[in-house]
Chain A
């Protein structure tokens, strides 16, 4: 029979497939690592210092469906009085899947009158966004929103 040539062809295909797999591995690792839920958790821990974060008070306004991840309007407001003895001291915004978990830190004071900030952000993928507010009594409050992105930002090639 013609077994020898057939088996060498099989060997060749096997080697080729192996080489392709080996070749593909570095390509995957060269891509910027995306922030993982663990990175998100550690970024949040850097801000809170391990204190408990309660859900509520914070309102995170982001469109649920985003066409262009390069500029996404974002508004964070905290439903809390801004009295000198009891106010919001800072607002921190995080993401889950951009290369870095941080988006921005905003520091306010009682003179702000209203605990609300707006900006425009980049989103590299459909993901969860988390906003955390720190109050003057040391407590932390959070809100999170899931956003679907059709055109991703940050990692595209420069022409």
Chain B
């Protein structure tokens, strides 16, 4: 399921600060809404996001129901060497998705 959108520059100079944009398709049900009949809609959110650059964790986030649906997160890192970014989203009801992106550093 292509539910993740990742934006990482394909090429960067060594030492350059690059922006990484990520978007994961997810309803992010808050657990505070209820149906017309009064039942609470159970919480279903992504609770954590992490990014690894060649195996080293460079960014991590704890998400709460106050994060909008389809969590969009951007952050920065320094391009040090060519390799792979691995992204991981973990959430309620066993939700787990991963994505990767590669970068060439000159």
Q: Which A residues contact B (CB, under 8 angstroms)?
A: 32, 70-72, 95, 98-100, 102-109, 111-123, 153-159
Contact = CB atoms under 8 A, between A and B. Distances in A.
Contact of A112 (B33, B62, B72, B75): B75
Interface string B60-79: 11111111110111111110
Contacts of A32: 32
Which 10 A-B residue pairings sit nearest by Cβ, starting from the closest? A113-B17, A120-B68, A71-B68, A105-B62, A113-B78, A114-B76, A103-B66, A118-B74, A107-B60, A102-B64
A158 B71 contact: no
A104 B67 contact: yes
A104 B62 contact: yes
Contacts, number: 107
Interface of B is mostly: strand
Most buried by B among A98, A113, A123, A157: A113
Most buried by B among A71, A72, A115: A71
Contacts of B75: 106, 108, 112, 116-118
Interface of B: 17-18, 30, 32-36, 41, 53, 58-69, 71-78, 80
A32 B78 CA distance: 43
B91 to A, nearest CB: 14
Contact of A157 (B36, B58, B71): B36
